[in-house]
Amino acid sequence: LEHDDRWNQVIGLLIYTFQLYVGIFICKIGDDLIEE
């Protein structure tokens, strides 16, 4: 169970980081589209 909990934390962190990068990426694309 300890391994499962650790994996859940790692997966949760990866998902959070992925969403964070996707949000920044979308914001950059949005700014580029607005400038054009």
pLDDT tier at 1 (50, 70, 90 boundaries)? low
Q: How far apart are the first and last CA of the chain?
A: 52
- The number of helices, as runs of H, and strands, as runs of E, in the chain is 1, 0
pTM > 0.85: no
> Rounded distance, CA 5 to CA 27, Å?
33
Condensed to tens digits (0 to 9), the pLDDT of residues 22-31 reads: 999 999 998 8
